[in-house]
Amino acid sequence: KSDPPNVLESDSSNGLKGDPSNGLRADQRKPNELRRIYLESNVINQASGSAYVELSNTKVICAVYGPQAINSDRTFSKEGQLRCDVKLSPFASSIRPEQRGQSEEELELSLMLHQALVSSIRLEMLTKSTVEVYVSVLADDGGVLGAAISCASLALADASIELYDLISGCTVGYCNGKLNFDPTIKEENDANGLMTMSAMASTKEVTQII
């Protein structure tokens, strides 16, 4: 049985409005302050493991299936295989048009999710097996990739997949000479540059920097 949801709350900013003169952002956060985080596992009964993550208005859900035997028509591999699929819901953002099939952005997110997760999984323990990770972005207010990485890692643990460590991801935006941690979608659009990093806390190993 999964543990109750964890809620991590940032410190308040004493009611001050977002204003460059006092160092606060539009949502009253300090530059190095994360948004409110909500985590919950075991949210999809039919899946081997699942998780749900909220970063304020960014909402992501993940389902993991497997390990399952690899079909005989596929190439033999001593190690297990990881497959990742990210889907942006039509209502996740008002700026994305609805389209059939997987968009270029979804394909890119799926690839980056795979690269971030694969080194944390003990694939040598999953011979001739595959693990499938499906992430749905329900609402996008920035930091989607970091949220997807954190959510998928939690879902893998919920599925009892052998891991070296859990992975967490976070985006940092550079704007007007200042680094903003965990930017909103508006801050991402206004940024001169963005970087998303994922890492395993226990081993202090970075699994991806984009």
Total Cβ atoms within 10 A of residue 39: 16
Q: What percent of the chain has pLDDT over 70?
A: 82
Nearest CA among 183, 162, 165 for reference residue 35 = 183
Q: What is the mean pLDDT of residues 35-58?
A: 96
pLDDT(11) > 70: no
Number of other CB atoms surrounding residue 133 within 10 Å: 28
Mean pLDDT rounded to a whole number for the chain: 86
| CA pair distance 137, 95, nearest whole angstrom | 14
Asked if 146 contacts 182 with a C-beta cutoff of 8 angstroms, the reply is: yes
pLDDT at 10 over 80: no
7-21, 33-47, 59-73, 137-151: segment of lowest average pLDDT: 7-21
What type of residue sits at position 112?
M
Task: Quickly tell me which residue has 């952005």 as its tokens.
Answer: 105
Nearest to 187 by CA among 198, 197, 176: 176
Greater confidence (19 vs 152) lies with: 152
Sign of CA dihedral 160, 163, 168, 171: negative
Res. 16: pLDDT tops 50: no
Question: What pLDDT, on a 0 to 100 scale, did the predictor assign at position 187?
Answer: 94
6's CB contacts (< 8 A; 6+ apart) are 38, 39
Q: What pLDDT, on the 0 to 100 scale, is given for residue 14?
A: 38
Whether the Cβ atoms of residue 170 and residue 147 lie closer than 8 Å to each other: no
Highest mean pLDDT among 10-19, 28-37, 100-109 belongs to 28-37
User: What pLDDT does residue 29 have?
Assistant: 93
pLDDT digits (tens, 9 = 90+) for 153-208: 999 999 999 999 999 999 999 988 889 999 999 999 999 999 999 999 888 899 99
Instruction: Provide the whole-model pTM.
Output: 0.84
SS3 44: coil
Bigger pLDDT: 146 vs 203? 146
User: For tokens 């539009």, what's the residue?
Assistant: 26
With beta carbons less than 8 A apart as the criterion, state whether 202 and 176 touch. no
DSSP 73: T
- The pLDDT value recorded for residue 111 is 96
Model confidence pLDDT, tens digit, residues 71-108: 755 556 678 899 999 999 887 765 555 555 678 999 99
Q: What per-residue confidence (pLDDT) applies to 6? A: 46
Q: Is residue 4 very low, low, confident or very high in pLDDT (cuts 50, 70, 90)?
A: very low
* pLDDT given for residue 20 in this prediction: 53
